[in-house]
Chain A
Amino acid sequence: MSAYKQTDSKFLDVLLNILLYTSMVFICLVTLYPFINVLAISLNQSSDTVRGGIYLFPRAFTLENYRQLFSFRGLVTAVQISVLRTVIGTVSTVLLTTMLAYTISRKDFIARKFVSVLFVATMYINGGMIPTFLLINKIGLTNSFWVYIIPNLVYVWCLFIIRSYIDTLPAPLQESAKIDGANDFIIFIRVVLPLCIPVLATVALFTAVLQWNSWFDTYIYNGENKKLSTLQYEMMKILTNTQALQQLVTSGNRQEAELLSKNISPESIRMAITILATVPILMVYPFLQKYFISGITLGGVKG
């Protein structure tokens, strides 16, 4: 915002604003359009969708697709499990990760450097799918609800974010609590945790989205257990039916391809389940927004 040449800069300002606004609006539209399209198709009669040409609005409005969805075997259970794992998973992950972050942030922790390095190493090295599967199997987590929670308790990336954040908190805060006779736990719960809320909100959101969206663990560990299926997994099955079909056809398995093709869900139903799987988590965002924008240190340190 230069105050040098008034008239020129004002013109430039306006021009820049116009450009910025138009490009932002354009990007918004381009981003929103697929979603609106999916919504429109999901509200359109499936036999009409086949005729193509549905863009922004449904041509033959109906709620039938959603109604059909809920008659799908196991979908209601899947939704329940998804919600359950998101809530429990998020709460436990946030709590435990923060605890761990607090521990690592404490300068008087002897193994601090060593543990941090180990954690970082895990970000780069992974056992791979089969060894991980064997591990989970041996521990006995397969075919159980806890396989959604326990392996996901600590995300190292979030861990370090929280740790960095705690590092920025003024040391005197903790010291003063200690002087008042608080032990580590109390310091954690009463002092550190409330101050971390902005970053916790971020981590919570991140974790919630991850928990809500994950289907691969359902696939590998709980694939056959209908009672532990998740919404994303059910959606995955419906949406990738066509790929399975392709596989069967290209491997020459015509007979089974024909059988499977009878069970491919029409486009509208696929769109309906897509909406069902994305809208709930979308709705979480506005609620957590306000935590991002809170003051940094409340009642800070004087002097």
Chain B
Amino acid sequence: MKRVGYLLLCLVILVVSLSACATQSKNDGTSAANTTAGPTADSTADTSGEQSTKDQEEDITPITFTLFRNTDNPNQDLTSETPVAKKVKELTGVTIEWQMPSAGDYQEKIALMCAAGNYPDLIMPSTAAPMLYEAGAILKLDDLIDQYGSNIKNFYGEEILKKSRWNLSDKSLYYFPAGWISDTASVSERQDGFFIQLAALKDQGYPKITTLEEYEAAIQSYKEKNPTIDGKPSIGMTLCFDGWHAIFSGGILPSYYSAGYGYKDNDYEMVIDLNTHKSTYFAKAPGVKEAIKWFNHMNSIGLIDPESFTQKFDQYLAKIAQGRVIGFADDTGWHTTPAINSLKEANKYDSLYAPMPAAINEDVKFGAYNQGSFMAAYGVMITKSCDDPVRATKFIDWLCTDEAQILNQWGIEGVNYNVENGKRVIPAEEWTARTTDPNYHKKTGISNFLWPLPSYGDGKKDPSGQLYIPGSDSIEALLDAKHQPEMDALNVYGIKLWSDLFPAWDTIPKSPWGIGYLINYPQDSKAASIAQTVGDLTTKYIAQAILAKPTDFEGVWAKYLADLDAAGVSEMEKEKDLQVDRKIRLFTED
């Protein structure tokens, strides 16, 4: 009797576990009983006047939309009590309830949403968008935009909207593109290249550095004169191969540039020919090998920090922050900021760095990024959980008006800016607060309704010729952030910004496929899994190639290329070709 009992229990357990395996909680909306059982605290919850009667123009009955975005924004005020948020409510009746992402993985969060069938009204899922598309959770926007989105059409223009269609098999619009829409490249300082300490430049009399050889000479002579800096041994160049950091700090991306290839246009890791549209894996492209060979040479003469190949990213930053690294090749805009900030706070201004366009030889122009091509990086979508998509579209439409853009960029007239002689002017104290107070945006609400919602970008001017983003076409703000040693250097070189040393953005042709690195391999394609292996191979072999004895370099490189082929890099290239082609057709076909 007991035996039978236990047997039955085992059977029950087995059946239960098997049934769990059988039904994949894949997103067929039926199984995730899409009742409004568990409401997201959304539009149904707090509004009075939910019966938004379709009045002619201004329907400003209060309504709340939940908006989930995939990255956090600590400058975002969440209470909707800021002056700007209140003004938005006054003008449109809309309150946005922001849902910022959780720790780590927004992809997981979105997967959960799809499983439960519970979506926020509006969502900006970025690369998780295909998941929502598969789940049938997002609405087509074409009709809504046609009927209610005249401002949206004006804002983006036909070209961008055409480029933002989903794909060749489904040429509808599903998102309002998130990007800083502007017709001029923004004025900014160059943040990548081969960096060299200002003190070293000064010591050499501010030499011209346009090739790797010149860069090497500058580092070498400074190092010989200064074997120690601040009591610690000086380092010619330091690299870091710690995981994903390797692409930026391991000399990989810098080699890509040095060989003359751009980044935001031609996409790392491919080099895409402008005419044939064919992709080549960057390691196989001409010039990259020369750049890596130069790194190898640097290592053999002892100018590269021997710890480069084993150190962790923290140690890499620490060395830079200590001010004893003469040169490095990385991206200072975001990757090495802690180290740079640390130097600034210690007032070590001559230990700061200047970027140099060190190309592999005289004939090659250092790679640059092209801001002209449109960055179609997904955007805000309306989900099927939204009770009033018409209202949502009208709200986005309102955001595209001049009134809204000025409100969200400049603030409230009379409070954050004044109008003098028809021009918008920000008073000095307000500007100081704006640029120095870290809580400014949270307090005023300015910029809270911008990206990922439609936003104009730097340099874009309104019909009256004034900027949408205050101060965005002037370099004053950039110059203000510089200190004396840097200004001295710039003066001697006769330039205003370091970016003047690099190829100008408008000299680079726009690519018909937009931004290459945003064209992803489809998730289930072979290329997607090959890409991972290839990436690992690259990190491993580049490090090896740099570390090897100069006589072994050719052998290591040959092995690298052979392994790449064996891993299937030509598959990747073919897939990329296909995707690039489709993108071009999507942009141009009707």
Residues of A with Cβ closer than 8 Å to B? 47-48, 50-53, 73, 117, 121, 125, 127-128, 130-131, 133-134, 137-138, 140, 142-143, 215, 219-220, 223-226, 233, 236-237, 239-240, 243-244, 246-263, 266-267
- In angstroms, Cα B20 to Cα A204, docked, is 34
The answer to whether B341 touches A73 (Cβ under 8 A) is no
The answer to whether A252 touches B103 (Cβ under 8 A) is no
CB distance from B164 to the nearest CB of A (A): 15
Instruction: List residues of B (320-343) whose CB comes within 8 Å of A's CBs.
Output: 321-322, 333-335, 337-339, 341-342
Most buried by A among B104, B106, B339, B517: B104
Q: Which residue of B lies closest to A72 (CB)?
A: B74
- In angstroms, Cα B100 to Cα A246, docked, is 18
Interface residues on B, range: 35 or more
The answer to whether A51 touches B78 (Cβ under 8 A) is no
Which residues on the B side are within 8 Å of A133 (C-beta)?
A: 112, 115-116
Whether, in the assembled complex, B68 has its beta carbon less than 8 Å from a beta carbon of chain A, the answer is yes
The answer to whether A137 touches B37 (Cβ under 8 A) is yes
Q: Can you list 30 A-B pairs with a CB-CB distance of less than 8 A?
A: A47-B342, A47-B345, A47-B346, A50-B317, A51-B322, A52-B317, A53-B318, A73-B74, A73-B78, A130-B25, A130-B112, A131-B25, A133-B112, A143-B41, A219-B103, A223-B99, A237-B72, A240-B104, A246-B244, A247-B104, A247-B105, A249-B247, A251-B520, A252-B267, A252-B518, A256-B70, A257-B334, A259-B71, A262-B334, A266-B338
Whether, in the assembled complex, B491 has its beta carbon less than 8 Å from a beta carbon of chain A, the answer is no
The answer to whether A246 touches B243 (Cβ under 8 A) is yes
The answer to whether B318 touches A258 (Cβ under 8 A) is no
Most buried by B among A48, A223, A251: A223
The answer to whether B333 touches A258 (Cβ under 8 A) is yes
Whether, in the assembled complex, B13 has its beta carbon less than 8 Å from a beta carbon of chain A, the answer is yes
A142 and B38 contact, Cβ closer than 8 Å, known pairs A52-B314, A226-B78, A252-B518: yes
The answer to whether A128 touches B20 (Cβ under 8 A) is yes
- In angstroms, Cα B569 to Cα A271, docked, is 42
A-B pairs with lowest CB-CB distance, top 9: A52-B318, A261-B334, A236-B103, A47-B345, A50-B342, A224-B99, A237-B103, A47-B342, A223-B102
- In angstroms, Cα B436 to Cα A172, docked, is 75
CB distance from A130 to the nearest CB of B (A): 5
Which one of A47, A220, A233, A246 contacts B341 once the chains associate, using CB atoms below 8 Å? A47
The answer to whether A121 touches B9 (Cβ under 8 A) is yes
Instruction: List residues of B (21-67) whose CB comes within 8 Å of A's CBs.
Output: 25, 32, 37-38, 40-41
- In angstroms, Cα B247 to Cα A128, docked, is 37
A138 and B37 contact, Cβ closer than 8 Å, known pairs A47-B342, A131-B20, A224-B68: yes
Residues of B with Cβ closer than 8 Å to A? 9, 13, 16-17, 20, 25, 32, 37-38, 40-41, 68, 70-74, 78, 99-107, 109, 112, 115-116, 118, 126-127, 243-244, 247, 264, 267, 314-315, 317-319, 321-322, 333-335, 337-339, 341-342, 345-346, 375, 377, 517-518, 520, 535
Label chain A's interface by main secondary structure.
helix
The answer to whether B243 touches A253 (Cβ under 8 A) is no
- In angstroms, Cα B74 to Cα A202, docked, is 40
- In angstroms, Cα B17 to Cα A127, docked, is 8
The answer to whether B115 touches A260 (Cβ under 8 A) is no
Which residues on the A side are within 8 Å of B106 (C-beta)?
A: 244
The answer to whether A134 touches B342 (Cβ under 8 A) is no
Q: Which residue of A lies closest to B178 (CB)?
A: A255
- In angstroms, Cα B323 to Cα A52, docked, is 12
- In angstroms, Cα B318 to Cα A258, docked, is 21
Which residues on the B side are within 8 Å of A258 (C-beta)?
A: 333-334
Q: Which residue of B lies closest to A258 (CB)?
A: B334
Which residues on the A side are within 8 Å of B104 (C-beta)?
A: 236, 240, 243-244, 247
Which residues on the A side are within 8 Å of B126 (C-beta)?
A: 253, 256
The answer to whether B71 touches A256 (Cβ under 8 A) is yes
Q: How many A-B residue pairs lie within 8 Å, measured between CB atoms?
A: 136
Which one of B72, B244, B321 contacts A51 once the chains associate, using CB atoms below 8 Å? B321
Which one of A125, A137, A225, A247 contacts B38 once the chains associate, using CB atoms below 8 Å? A137
* Sample of 14 further A-B pairs with CB below 8 A, known A223-B109, A246-B243, A258-B334: A50-B342, A130-B115, A134-B115, A215-B103, A240-B104, A247-B105, A249-B244, A249-B247, A253-B377, A255-B375, A256-B377, A260-B71, A261-B334, A263-B72
- In angstroms, Cα B243 to Cα A236, docked, is 21
Which residues on the B side are within 8 Å of A246 (C-beta)?
A: 243-244
- In angstroms, Cα B132 to Cα A176, docked, is 66
CB distance from A276 to the nearest CB of B (A): 16
CB distance from A227 to the nearest CB of B (A): 10
- In angstroms, Cα B342 to Cα A223, docked, is 34
Q: Which residue of B lies closest to A233 (CB)?
A: B103
The answer to whether A137 touches B17 (Cβ under 8 A) is no
Which residues on the B side are within 8 Å of A117 (C-beta)?
A: 9
Q: Which residue of B lies closest to A232 (CB)?
A: B103
Which residues on the A side are within 8 Å of B99 (C-beta)?
A: 223-224
Which residues on the B side are within 8 Å of A236 (C-beta)?
A: 103-104
The answer to whether A134 touches B68 (Cβ under 8 A) is no
Which residues on the B side are within 8 Å of A128 (C-beta)?
A: 20
Which one of A134, A219, A261 contacts B102 once the chains associate, using CB atoms below 8 Å? A219
- In angstroms, Cα B244 to Cα A249, docked, is 8
- In angstroms, Cα B452 to Cα A255, docked, is 12
The answer to whether B112 touches A244 (Cβ under 8 A) is no
Q: Which residue of A lies closest to B338 (CB)?
A: A50
Q: Which residue of B lies closest to A220 (CB)?
A: B112
CB distance from A286 to the nearest CB of B (A): 31
Which one of B37, B68, B337, B520 contacts A261 once the chains associate, using CB atoms below 8 Å? B337
Q: Which residue of B lies closest to A136 (CB)?
A: B38
Most buried by A among B41, B71, B99: B71
- In angstroms, Cα B78 to Cα A125, docked, is 40
CB distance from A246 to the nearest CB of B (A): 5
CB distance from B307 to the nearest CB of A (A): 12
Which residues on the B side are within 8 Å of A127 (C-beta)?
A: 20
The answer to whether A263 touches B102 (Cβ under 8 A) is no
The answer to whether A244 touches B9 (Cβ under 8 A) is no
Which residues on the A side are within 8 Å of B535 (C-beta)?
A: 250
CB distance from A180 to the nearest CB of B (A): 37
CB distance from A179 to the nearest CB of B (A): 34
- In angstroms, Cα B314 to Cα A293, docked, is 45
Which residues on the A side are within 8 Å of B72 (C-beta)?
A: 237, 260, 263
CB distance from B160 to the nearest CB of A (A): 16
Which residues on the A side are within 8 Å of B339 (C-beta)?
A: 50
Which residues on the B side are within 8 Å of A142 (C-beta)?
A: 38
CB distance from A274 to the nearest CB of B (A): 14
A134 and B78 contact, Cβ closer than 8 Å, known pairs A50-B339, A224-B68: no
- In angstroms, Cα B104 to Cα A243, docked, is 6
The answer to whether A125 touches B16 (Cβ under 8 A) is yes
Most buried by B among A128, A249, A255, A266: A255
The answer to whether B71 touches A50 (Cβ under 8 A) is no
CB distance from B377 to the nearest CB of A (A): 6
Which residues on the A side are within 8 Å of B101 (C-beta)?
A: 244
